[in-house]
Amino acid sequence: MRTANGGEPAAASLRIRGADGRTPMGSERMEMRKRQMAASAKPSSPGPGQPRGGSRGSNACCFCWCCCCSCSCFTVRSQEEQRLRPASYELRRADLPTCEESPSPTLEEASAWARSFEQLMLTAAGRNAFREFLRTEFSEENLLFWMACEELKKEANKTIIEEKARIIYEDYISILSPKEVSLDSRVRELIDRNMAEPSPHIFDDAQLQIYTLMHRDSYPRFLSSTLYKDLLRALSERSVEA
């Protein structure tokens, strides 16, 4: 085998020879590929419009070299948005008031709820049972809004009234809220005009609309629901045992 000074290029000594003494074409291509890979591994100065740091990272987008367009960025951003959405919703759910404290209703009290919607809404036990039913229909916000309006009417301090009115507006009137209640445009416009100086009765028209909606729509289904029937049966069995 001749040396590099003997006339044959030194790189030829690195080629793999086949059984017939010839150099396979695949080996030559492999050698060229290795040289190209070695050259690309060396750091080079960034060209115009190319970010510093040499070649693109493993997370770079397959359509361009720009780091702001990396596939990982979009993936991480999408995952973060999906994570924050349920987290935000859960925080709002956690802000909902808990059930009112009340003694367990008697059979007579629970039976009276079927006589009128007013009887159901008069007692804390009735509202708790109705709220539990509304939760199964994903309309719990209607009762929560009504209850918040009732609490607002009890306030006399102007500062507290303004703060509570703002919270009620953001929670139940704003179209951006997941707990927005269904109101007509006339009532919404009236509330918007009065929010500059809210009074304890700023939501009276809206409260009446939601009360009527629950009375006509949800109340009949509550009376025929398994939840209410199971409650009556349990109270009946308890009264017999006593």
Q: How confident is the model at residue 4 (pLDDT cuts 50, 70, 90)?
A: very low
pLDDT tens string 214-242: 999 999 999 999 999 999 999 999 888 86
Residue 60 inside a domain? The answer is no
CA angle (42 as vertex; 40, 43 as ends), nearest 5: 110
| Predicted pLDDT of residue 33 | 59
CATH (domain of 136): 1.10.167.10
192: amino acid identity, one letter = D
pLDDT tens string 35-59: 665 655 554 444 444 444 444 444 4
Residue 58 inside a domain? The answer is no
| Predicted pLDDT of residue 38 | 63
| Predicted pLDDT of residue 240 | 83
Domain count, the chain: 1
Map tokens 């080079």 to a residue: 44
Residue 229 inside a domain? The answer is yes
| pTM assigned to the model | 0.60
Residue 100 inside a domain? The answer is no
Residue 79 inside a domain? The answer is no
d(CA 122, CA 113) in angstroms, rounded, equals 9
Q: Is the pLDDT of residue 197 over 80?
A: yes
Closest to 113 (Cα-Cα) out of 239, 240, 227:
227
pLDDT tens string 81-95: 444 433 333 334 344
Residue 129 inside a domain? The answer is yes
Domain housing 136? 124-241
pLDDT tens string 127-185: 999 999 999 999 999 999 999 999 999 999 999 999 999 999 999 999 999 999 999 99
Residue 51 inside a domain? The answer is no
Q: How confident is the model at residue 29 (pLDDT cuts 50, 70, 90)?
A: low
Residue 41 inside a domain? The answer is no
For residue 114, how many C-alpha atoms fall within 13 Å in the half-sphere facing its CB?
A: 11
For 29, other C-beta atoms within 10 Å of its C-beta total 10
For 168, other C-beta atoms within 10 Å of its C-beta total 23
Q: How confident is the model at residue 120 (pLDDT cuts 50, 70, 90)?
A: very high
Q: How confident is the model at residue 101 (pLDDT cuts 50, 70, 90)?
A: confident
| Predicted pLDDT of residue 31 | 61
